[in-house]
Structure 1
Amino acid sequence: MKRTLPFLLSLVRQGSLVKQIIVALILGIAVGVLWPSGASSLEVLGSFFVSALKAVAPVLVFVLVAASIANQDTGSGGKIKSVLFLYILGTFSAALVAVIASFMFPTPIALVEVKDAVTAPGGITEVIRNLVFNLVDNPVKALANANYIGILAWAVSLGIALRHSSDETKKIVADLCNSVEYIVRLVIRLAPIGVFGLVAGVIATTGLEGMLSYVKLLVVLIGCMIFIALVVNPLLVWFYTRKNPFPLVWMCLRESGVTAFFTRSSAANIPVNMNLCRKLNLDENVYAISIPVGATINMAGAAVTITVLTLAAATTLNVHVDIGTALLLSLVATVCACGASGVPGGSLLLIPLACGLFGIEQNVAMQVVAVGFVIGVLQDSAETALNSSTDVLFTAAACEYNQRKEASVH
């Protein structure tokens, strides 16, 4: 018995998170269906996980954004600009696609304790007014109250200021960021427990209809990502290269996307992408920078996740979203996606920032994050596959564009 507990703890800590979440999902459904009276009490496990996310998310956003800006490489050269432009344009386009899909297929999701959980804005004017006042909030107060707009503003300001600091200071900031991400990884290891409690509680409260809403949400998410991979990205590549983009699109999806789907890590897929760039005979001076940078800021899949889940929360709470606010959400989702953490599920932790645009209370926003972990087995894999394969796709398109531009000059 003395050896059993350490063995179980080691299994939880080192085992596959995806497999653990699948098992927790199945157990949660089974308990919710077979023992609804007891399952409702298990909701405390989901609440514990949500509380842990609420505690770590504000600090993560602040440190991650500040460190990213402070340590940004400024000597990339002119050739990299076209790749960076494609990265940002592709991410913003993905957010717009997600907005349109959410308007076409509004998807309410099963949440608990949503009464009086939102102060709905009157329109784009009120949203911008709240945004401006949140930007100048006291930084300590912003962290304490999870004012993500204020946190983002202070993080950007601090990051810009730190760009002029010494290398030693920048290293300390980077080390602090890594330390916070380590804590986030520990919290995310609790996801199976949280998913079990959340699913069991939802099934006990709403029945299987609650889980059906999660399936619909997953269909919208995956559908958006497929549309971006097969329609939006090829259009952007054609605009740059004036060639049939699909041979390149299929190659990137086959040789980069499939690997990323199973590793669920853009960072882990960097060697695969570098090798594919060599295979395509791309300019090494470009891809040596664009591939690592793309693993950080080229986040079309993350933009889709943040936008769709935020608008699902707004639909659930009957918040009216006008066109102007939707465009502002696309911009915020693009910024959030570019700052998403490299850990699995990192994009989910930035959803509360986007929910803040609609006055959605943090507890509800964190429930939406927890729902993201429920569907994350497929969502996160598809998101990473889209993000990572697009790194090579846009790098190749930019290299082709640069070569055509240089040829026209000569």
Structure 2
Amino acid sequence: MKTVLNRWNRLGLVKQIIIGLIIGIILALTIPETAQPITIVGELFVGALKAIAPVLVLFLVISAFAQHKKGQQTNMKSIISLYIIGTFCAAVVAVIASFLFPVRLNLVNSPEGFQAPEGLSEVLQSLLLNIVDNPINAIIESNFIGILAWAIVFGLAFRRTPDTTKTMLQDISNAVLKVVEWVIKLAPFGILGLVFESISTSGLDALISYGKLLVVLIGCMLIVALVTNPLIVYMLSRKNPYPLVLTCLKESGITAFFTRSSAANIPVNMKLSEKLGLNKDTYSVSIPLGATINMAGAAVTISVLTLATAHTLDIEVNFVTALILSFIATISACGASGVVGGSLLLIPLATSLFGIPTDVAMQVVGIGFIIGVVQDSAETALNSSTDVVFTAAAEEREKRKVNKMN
């Protein structure tokens, strides 16, 4: 048994995940009923990640701010700018693709039990209210905007405490990171259960009728991940961006694809940032912040489905309106985590730009839920992996500036 475990550990996490993925697919296609209990493994894995993520963010950010020294570089302004620029570029890519490859939808019944926001003001209001949420409630509800805000406040307060207190905070932070490491080691088994559940429950046939829509959505996300983001990274670093981009897609994107939760992937991104040698004071803030506002995949989803609705209803969309849609999709995507249902429930907000009735827009949301097993997975993979890409790119830019000065 010890020999088997040693060989398993030597494979590396990515290879282990691929093995779990293959086994999950085989079981789902061959013996779905017999292997049904496996789904609990996936649920436990995602549950563990979601449970530890708020605690991880809280103590990492408090510790980082408590020990931050005046004049110490964190690159947060650059990273936030990259998050917004990247999300806007993703929306533009989606708009262009929707014009080149227009999709017409077969509208289905509206989903029940969901309420779309009535306007941008409601999205922004929800985002602001999340900032001042009760800190205990923020942790319980995994409200990362609230957790981040209170962690910064407590971190600044702890700056005035003795070094022994700051050391204690650092020790707690390291202990939480060790727990995260243990949870991440279970990723291959968790993903085995998740992929089994997805295929055995939804099947592959349900997605065939929406093939063209999925091709446009996934195509846009691939362009953003493999063309737009690398171009942004190159402009900042003047280095080949693909080693960084592909590493992030491999080690962050794969896990995010199957967990379908940016919050659950925060521990994975923290570990990857540490592995890449990034500044802990920076990534301890930028990663949870990115899980909240860096939503390139959401911008793609909102833009593509909105324009697909417009094409279906034969609504003419001019250049100016398309540009406005890109801005709306960017702002909406940044506020997606503050709205129950994420990016799909922000589609009615965007379709209102074209005067499309809410009941029609909610039918499009219904289509979104049908293809969500692929769309939401790809969206989360893009969103989450980009958090690390832009954090690393901003740090590389600062290094270039320092080298020029020297």
TM-score (norm 1): 0.61
Measured against aligned partners, the alpha-carbon deviations of 1:315-350 in whole angstroms (never above 9, x if no partner) come to 111111100000000000001111112799511011
Matched, 1:171 2:133: yes
Deviation at 1:249, TM superposition (A): 1.0
2:318 corresponds in structure 1 to 322
- Looking at structure 2, the residues matched to 212 and 339 of structure 1 have their Cα atoms a distance apart, in angstroms, of 31
Aligned residues between the structures = 275
Deviation at 1:392, TM superposition (A): 0.7
Q: Secondary structure at the match of 2:262?
A: coil
Measured against aligned partners, the alpha-carbon deviations of 1:86-120 in whole angstroms (never above 9, x if no partner) come to 11111000000000000001101011699xxxxxx
Q: 1:229 aligns with which of 200, 225, 231?
A: 225
2:367 corresponds in structure 1 to 371
Matches within 5 A, 1:350-361: 350-361=346-357
User: Once superposed, what is the RMSD of the aligned Cα atoms?
Assistant: 3.3
Cα distance, 1:273–1:177 mapped onto 2, change above 3 Å: closer
- Looking at structure 2, the residues matched to 180 and 297 of structure 1 have their Cα atoms a distance apart, in angstroms, of 15
Matched, 1:247 2:243: yes
Measured against aligned partners, the alpha-carbon deviations of 1:206-249 in whole angstroms (never above 9, x if no partner) come to xx9x9765221111000101111111111000001000011111
Cα distance, 1:388–1:176 mapped onto 2, change above 3 Å: closer
Query: Which 5+ residue runs of structure 1 have no aligned equivalent?
Result: 1-18, 24-74, 115-143, 164-169, 182-198, 200-207
The 10-residue stretch of structure 1 (345-354 or 102-111) with the greater mean CA deviation from structure 2: 345-354
Query: Which 5+ residue runs of structure 2 have no aligned equivalent?
Result: 1-24, 30-64, 144-201
- Looking at structure 2, the residues matched to 253 and 180 of structure 1 have their Cα atoms a distance apart, in angstroms, of 24
- Looking at structure 1, the residues matched to 318 and 140 of structure 2 have their Cα atoms a distance apart, in angstroms, of 38
- Looking at structure 2, the residues matched to 370 and 177 of structure 1 have their Cα atoms a distance apart, in angstroms, of 30
Q: 1:148 aligns with which of 119, 132, 153?
A: 119
Aligned partner letter, 1:366: M
Aligned partner letter, 1:373: F
2:296 corresponds in structure 1 to 300
Deviation at 1:174, TM superposition (A): 8.7
Q: Secondary structure at the match of 1:251?
A: helix
Q: Secondary structure at the match of 2:356?
A: coil
C-alpha contact 1:106 1:312 (8 A) present in aligned 2: yes
- Looking at structure 2, the residues matched to 261 and 211 of structure 1 have their Cα atoms a distance apart, in angstroms, of 17
2:257 corresponds in structure 1 to 261
Cα distance, 1:288–1:172 mapped onto 2, change above 3 Å: closer
Matched, 1:97 2:68: no
Aligned partner letter, 1:147: E
- Looking at structure 2, the residues matched to 389 and 240 of structure 1 have their Cα atoms a distance apart, in angstroms, of 18
Measured against aligned partners, the alpha-carbon deviations of 1:7-39 in whole angstroms (never above 9, x if no partner) come to xxxxxxxxxxxx9xx99xxxxxxxxxxxxxxxx
C-alpha contact 2:108 2:366 (8 A) present in aligned 1: no
Matches within 5 A, 1:11-410: 79-111=75-107, 147-152=118-123, 159=128, 170-172=132-134, 175=137, 214-341=210-337, 346-410=342-406
C-alpha contact 1:265 1:344 (8 A) present in aligned 2: no
Aligned partner letter, 1:396: A
Cα distance, 1:238–1:179 mapped onto 2, change above 3 Å: closer
- Looking at structure 1, the residues matched to 218 and 116 of structure 2 have their Cα atoms a distance apart, in angstroms, of 33
Aligned partner letter, 1:296: T
C-alpha contact 1:147 1:356 (8 A) present in aligned 2: no
TM-score (norm 2): 0.61
Cα distance, 1:407–1:221 mapped onto 2, change above 3 Å: same
Cα distance, 1:242–1:106 mapped onto 2, change above 3 Å: same
- Looking at structure 2, the residues matched to 145 and 343 of structure 1 have their Cα atoms a distance apart, in angstroms, of 8
Deviation at 1:358, TM superposition (A): 0.7
1:188 corresponds in structure 2 to none
- Looking at structure 2, the residues matched to 306 and 277 of structure 1 have their Cα atoms a distance apart, in angstroms, of 29
Q: Secondary structure at the match of 2:337?
A: coil
Cα distance, 1:180–1:278 mapped onto 2, change above 3 Å: closer
C-alpha contact 1:297 1:337 (8 A) present in aligned 2: yes
Q: Secondary structure at the match of 1:341?
A: helix
